[in-house]
């Protein structure tokens, strides 16, 4: 017989949240069933704390919030991180130079808040970003006219993202940034190149959380859809990629769930709770 589930960890965008960035009613019911059985829910997202939906922050079954691709971990309802990694001054200097070399605009995550180059918001429509993306950035970021100075002076900055205008620009950014030693480099959505200190990722942060909960990674099921979820899915006993996941995420998974628009996470949770899915 295989193991039964003791913890669930899930990405947000493209995974737990629907296409409107909300928790569907079916997802809420499934999360409620986890809570009733005492199974902790852990969120693992690339978003900073300031950008988490209020309904997610209020979800009673959530025990921990892994944010900024694993750079910061919070307990539910807590404003101070319990675990963190940060970009050194030297890395921030290197990243600023990379932004200059590639003509890229950036955002920096600092103590759970996201500061964005004002040019991103001013030029987003020209870059063919979706209106929903633009609206999300406007709601959750603080616009900064001199982001370069902030990046250089922001001691303890946990992550820095580059905005790509198109696929070719993203390839140039990726190539340039990959030349910088000591970085974790990933991408959760097509228009971003995301960086943090080497060793930062969702899996490492989850290992810290599970140790606190006295749960083995082999007893956890993880859900994701992006390249930044690969390590997470590989680290858990059961890694589940969404139907809408990237090729790398799907390749790292043990199972493929229905898409986030079809309540894929909820449907898999019911199967896990009913014993239809087990793993060694």
Nearest to 236 by CA among 195, 197, 268, 189: 268
Band of residue 255 on the pLDDT scale cut at 50, 70, 90: very high
Identify the pLDDT of residue 3: 67
- Checking if the pLDDT of 240 tops 60, the result is yes
Instruction: For 67-95, write each residue's pLDDT tens digit.
Output: 999 999 999 888 789 999 999 999 999 99
Band of residue 1 on the pLDDT scale cut at 50, 70, 90: very low
Distance, CA of 106 to CA of 120 (rounded, Å): 8
The neighbouring-strand residues paired with 160 are 108, 195
Nearest to 173 by CA among 152, 149, 191: 191
pTM for the model stands at 0.93
């Amino acid at each position: 017989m295989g193991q039964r589930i003791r913890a669930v960890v899930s990405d947000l965008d493209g995974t737990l949240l629907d296409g409107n960035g909300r928790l569907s009613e079916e997802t809420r019911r499934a999360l409620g069933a986890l809570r009733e059985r005492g199974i902790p829910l852990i969120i693992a997202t690339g978003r900073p704390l300031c950008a988490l939906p209020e309904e997610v922050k209020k979800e009673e079954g959530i025990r921990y919030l892994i944010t900024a691709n694993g750079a910061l971990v919070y307990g539910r309802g807590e404003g101070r991180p319990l675990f963190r990694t940060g970009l050194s001054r030297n890395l921030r200097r290197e990243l600023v130079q990379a932004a200059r070399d590639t003509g890229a605009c950036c955002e920096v995550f600092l103590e759970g808040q996201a500061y964005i180059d004002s040019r991103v918001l001013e030029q987003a429509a020209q870059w063919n970003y979706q209106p929903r993306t633009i609206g999300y950035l406007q709601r959750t970021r603080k616009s900064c006219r001199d982001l370069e100075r902030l990046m250089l002076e922001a001691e303890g900055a946990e992550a820095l993202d580059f905005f790509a205008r198109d696929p070719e620009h993203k390839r140039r950014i990726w190539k340039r940034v990959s030349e910088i030693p000591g970085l974790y480099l990933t991408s959760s959505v097509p228009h971003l190149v995301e960086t943090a200190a080497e060793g930062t990722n969702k899996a490492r942060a989850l290992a810290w959380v599970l140790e606190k909960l006295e749960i083995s990674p082999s007893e956890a099921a993880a859900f994701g859809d992006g390249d930044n979820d690969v390590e997470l899915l590989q680290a858990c006993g059961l890694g589940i990629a969404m139907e809408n996941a990237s090729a790398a995420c799907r390749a790292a998974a043990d199972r493929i769930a229905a898409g986030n628009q079809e309540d894929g996470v909820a449907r898999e949770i019911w199967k896990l709770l009913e014993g239809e899915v087990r793993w060694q």
